[in-house]
């Protein structure tokens, strides 16, 4: 039977491999940044400032992606900047997923007043534009890694809550839940041991999207200098510096931008790929 399932499956597989591959590369580079990065990301060398990347004329062999206006190695700074980006992505992504999913599971399974309270809260939350929330929170919490993480949780838990709630309501109608009830399992046990694992694929797919969002939020905040301390290299910070010297040294902007672009795209495509893979119709 030709119904296009095979094609979608192949496409989803390719998506997963490409995006997963890129994310793995970034993860390995940042994890072993100390051994891999060719230079110290903070060392300035004013005699070697604004060196172009290796393919352009006038490049120095030691600096693969050139140097910025203070003579710092762009490649090393990208690798170390990836540390901040991935740390925020993992911590903020997981924390947001946990907070939103737990509330979504409770609302979707127990219904009643718990659902009423949580759903109303989601509605109110959604009416408040995220950027204003972020401005307020960062103004109050000050800058730093934890402020970013808290800001992301506070803004984005609703994304998980809505989807997980809907999926939990779906799962609750299934026969296996009815069997568990007949078998005499306690309600909370059914929720965490039976429904939870079945909602997990949805949560994992969303988590990947959320990590991409976290990377962007971190980049934006470090771009406007409201992220972690100013001397640690971040992609957003590099983009801000590159934006200033764009006519003299375009690579300072372009290199971190490409990496940021690919990472955000990889996270969202990985999530999409997972969604396709877990789709019961395709299975």
Partner 1 sequence: MRLLQTLLMRLAMMAITLFGAAVIVFVVIRVVPGNPIAMMLPPGASDEDIARLTAHYGLDKSIPEQFFVWLGGVLHGDFGTSISLRQPVMPLVLGRLPATLELSIFALVLAVIIGGAMALTGTRFRGGRTEAVIDVANGAGLSIPDFLWALVLILTLGVLYPVFHISGRISPSLDLPFTTQFYVFESILRLRFDLWWDLLKHMFMPALALAIPLAAIIGQLLKQSLKETMHLDYVVLARTKGYGENHVILFDALRNAVLPTLTLIGVQFTFLIGGTVIIERLFSYEGLGNMAIDAVINRDLPLIQGIVLVFALLFTVVNLVVDLTYALLNPRLRHA
Q: For partner 1, which is the closer residue by CB, 110 or 133? A: 133
Contact 73, 81 (CB under 8 A): no
What's the rounded Cα separation, in Å, for the pair 90 and 226?
Answer: 19
Identified binder of partner 1 from the candidate list 95, 97, 103, 138, rule CB under 8 A: 138
Tell me which residue of 261, 228, 219, 243 sits closest to 68, measured CA to CA.
243
Neighbour tally for 136: CB within 10 Å: 13
Minimum distance of partner 1 from residue 245's CB (angstroms): 11
Cα separation, 119 vs 229, in Å, equals: 37
Rounded to 10 degrees, what is the CA torsion of 192, 197, 202, 207?
Answer: 80
> Which residue, among 17, 1, 2, has the nearest Cα to 276 in the 3D structure?
17
Q: Which stretch, 45-53, 81-89, 197-205, 266-274, contacts partner 1 (CB under 8 A)?
A: 266-274
Query: Which residue among 94, 166, 232, 254 contacts partner 1 (CB under 8 A)?
Result: 254
Q: Which is nearer to partner 1, 198 or 268 (CB)?
A: 268
Contacting residue, 27, 36, 117, 139, with partner 1 by CB under 8 A: 139
Q: Which is nearer to partner 1, 164 or 219 (CB)?
A: 219
- Least distance (Å) from partner 1 to the CB of residue 18? 14
Burial class (CB in 10 A: 0-12, 13-18, 19+), 98: middle
Binding mask 187-226 for partner 1 (x = CB under 8 A): -----------------------------x--xx--xxxx
Contact residue for partner 1 among 128, 146, 188, 230 (CB under 8 A): 128
| Cα(153)–Cα(134) distance, integer angstroms | 11
Taking the complex as a whole, the smallest distance from the CB of residue 124 to partner 1 amounts, in Å, to 8
CA 128, chain centre distance (Å): 22
Q: Specify the stretch interacting with partner 1 by CB under 8 A; choose among 27-35, 46-54, 186-194, 243-251.
A: 243-251
Binding-site ranges for partner 1 (CB under 8 A): 127-132, 135-140, 142, 216, 219-220, 223-226, 239, 243, 246-247, 250, 253-254, 257, 260-261, 264-265, 268-269, 272
């Amino acid at each position: 039977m030709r119904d296009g399932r095979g094609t979608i499956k192949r496409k989803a597989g390719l998506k997963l491999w490409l995006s997963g591959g890129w994310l793995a590369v970034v993860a390995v580079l940042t994890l072993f940044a100390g051994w891999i990065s060719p230079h110290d990301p903070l060392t300035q060398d004013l005699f070697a400032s604004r060196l172009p990347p290796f393919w352009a004329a006038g490049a120095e062999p030691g600096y693969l992606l050139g140097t910025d206006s203070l003579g710092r190695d762009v490649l090393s700074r990208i690798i170390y900047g990836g540390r901040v980006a991935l740390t925020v992505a993992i911590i903020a992504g997981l924390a947001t997923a946990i907070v939103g999913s737990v509330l979504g599971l409770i609302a979707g399974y127990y219904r009643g007043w718990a659902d009423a309270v949580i759903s109303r809260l989601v509605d109110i939350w959604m009416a408040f534009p995220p950027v204003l929330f972020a401005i307020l929170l960062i103004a109050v919490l000050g800058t730093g890694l934890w402020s970013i993480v808290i800001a992301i949780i506070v803004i984005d838990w609703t994304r998980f809550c809505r989807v997980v709630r809907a999926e939990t309501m779906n799962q609750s109608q299934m026969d296996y839940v009815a069997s568990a009830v007949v078998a005499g399992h306690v309600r909370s046990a059914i929720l965490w041991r039976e429904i939870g694992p079945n909602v997990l694929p949805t949560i994992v797919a969303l988590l990947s999207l959320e990590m991409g969002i976290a990377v962007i939020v971190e980049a934006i905040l470090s771009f406007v200098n409201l992220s972690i301390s100013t001397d640690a290299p971040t992609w957003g910070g590099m983009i801000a510096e590159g934006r200033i010297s764009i006519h003299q040294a375009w690579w300072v902007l372009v290199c971190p931008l490409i990496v940021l672009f690919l990472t955000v795209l990889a996270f969202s495509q990985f999530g999409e790929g997972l969604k396709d893979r877990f789709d019961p119709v395709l299975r």
